[in-house]
Structure 1
């Protein structure tokens, strides 16, 4: 893999891979602050479980567990430098096998769950009527991000289309530079078009994030793991031990008279 020359960076490359990342990141952070401050009652998943449960029982676990595995895979692929995995003895072949194997299963699970969620939202009347415009935009952008990610995995890692490309020496370095304020736009400009589109779609998704139901990601009830037990007590004791009931007692009817008054 040849190292791109920073002198070849154009104005468009600077806008796409330097200006927009920080612009969208600013919208992501400030948007959540605004949403939490002025729309606390809207900070919710807008759950539609009451309307339909049969499809949701399969779609929700497939999507959520799949997207969690995809997220962890991105943390490893983008956040951990290649030198670190080499230092612990993980070969390139081992890393490639893990990325393709685990990533493929996670991607298929995520795609299957998302397709079922969209199908359910479109075909179940009450769920469709509860769908907002932002929900539709969010589903569209999320589907594009996932589809491009799957395409990059299949075309780049499995089919080797477009030649050999190591994203860990290109896209990953650019991504980590965002948080070090040391961006290298030439790395993204030199990346295949599939990775560029995936990066742009992901940045757009993060910009939309605060204004959609995705905010519920930051409301995971982790407190349930260490909160004290909730004690439940029966309203009535066991049979034969019931005490006197407080309150008005029933009124007994007087006996009927027999004979003349």
Structure 2
């Protein structure tokens, strides 16, 4: 039976997070378009940035795709495709664990870069550190769940519990019963994800939505250099 805390965490809070996430982005774009950027510090230091950014972005992309499939696609769909629960679980651990470790290493490099390189640290604000710390804490819990709990404790059926709960939230029929027996580390992983999504619109993370994919189809800009008029000297 869900407790009052369960009702808050798994019924009310998800919708608060969604409203703040969407409304915060709309507000930020409306009043602060000039700050809608990643505030790049590439001119201050490139080596750590290139290494950390590449590792984090490629790793987190696979992690996000894995979360989408694992949480939004019901187990019956993959089973109908001939993928057994055991096969899916093995792929999730290997691929999810590997990509998670890659992204995790990249996040630590980016955090240490901001802490240890003086020029970068002086141009960073509190939200820069907050975002990286939240990402690292959330990923630490996720990696523990994937590589420690699922492997050495027992495989947890998150697709039929956490996934079912998330699908119930998105269909506006939240059912906290799915989350009652979920291990605490899985619940904490979700809670820290809540916090990350709540602060997202008010940090540098908004630049995720500004990736220049539309540059590929926009009109070309042609630059021409104007010649100086010739000066004619009359004798």
TM value normalised by structure 2: 0.93
Instruction: Give 5+ residue unaligned stretches, structure 2.
Output: none
C-alpha distance in 1, partners of 2:183/2:232? 82
Instruction: Give 5+ residue unaligned stretches, structure 1.
Output: 1-7, 237-243, 251-261
Match of 2:162 in 1: 171
C-alpha distance in 2, partners of 1:67/1:245? 52
C-alpha distance in 1, partners of 2:135/2:232? 63
Match of 2:102 in 1: 109
| Residue 209 (str. 1) matches residue 200 (str. 2) | yes
Deviates more, 1:87-96 or 1:210-219: 87-96
> Runs ≥4 in structure 1, deviation > 4 angstroms?
228-233
**Aligned pairs (5 A) from 1:24-63:** 24-63=17-56
CA contact (8 A) 2:111 2:129 kept: no
Aligned residues: 235
**Aligned pairs (5 A) from 1:100-249:** 100-159=93-152, 161=153, 163-229=154-220, 246-248=229-231
Indicate how the Cα distance of structure 1 residues 245 and 93 shifts in structure 2: closer, same or farther if over 3 A, else same: same
Distance apart, 1:135 and its partner CA: 1.4
C-alpha distance in 2, partners of 1:96/1:165? 10
Deviation readout 1:117-161 (Å, 9 max, x if unpaired): 0111111112101111111221111111111100100123222x1
Distance apart, 1:94 and its partner CA: 2.0
Alignment partner of 2:70 out of 72, 77, 94 = 77
RMSD over equivalenced CA pairs, Å: 2.1
From the CA coordinates, give the structure whose radius of gyration is larger: 1
C-alpha distance in 2, partners of 1:58/1:94? 33
